Amino acid sequence: MDTKVSRSLWHERYANLLDTLKARSPHCQAEPTWIAARRQAGAARFEALGFPTRRDEEWKYTDVRSIAQGNFALADNAEFSQASAAALTLPIDAYRLTFVDGVFSAVLSDVDALPSSVQVLPLSKALTENHEAVGGPLGRLTGVDFSPLPR
Residue 150's pLDDT band, with cuts at 50, 70 and 90, is very low
Mean pLDDT of 16-44: 73
Confidence (pLDDT) at 80: 79
Confidence (pLDDT) at 38: 76
What is the SS3 assignment for 16?
helix
* Cα dihedral 85→104→28→31 (10° resolution): 170
| pLDDT tens profile 103-149 | 788 888 888 889 988 888 877 778 777 777 777 777 666 655 544 33
Indicate the burial class of 146 (C-beta count within 10 angstroms; 0-12, 13-18, 19 or more): buried
> Can you give the pTM of this predicted structure?
0.59
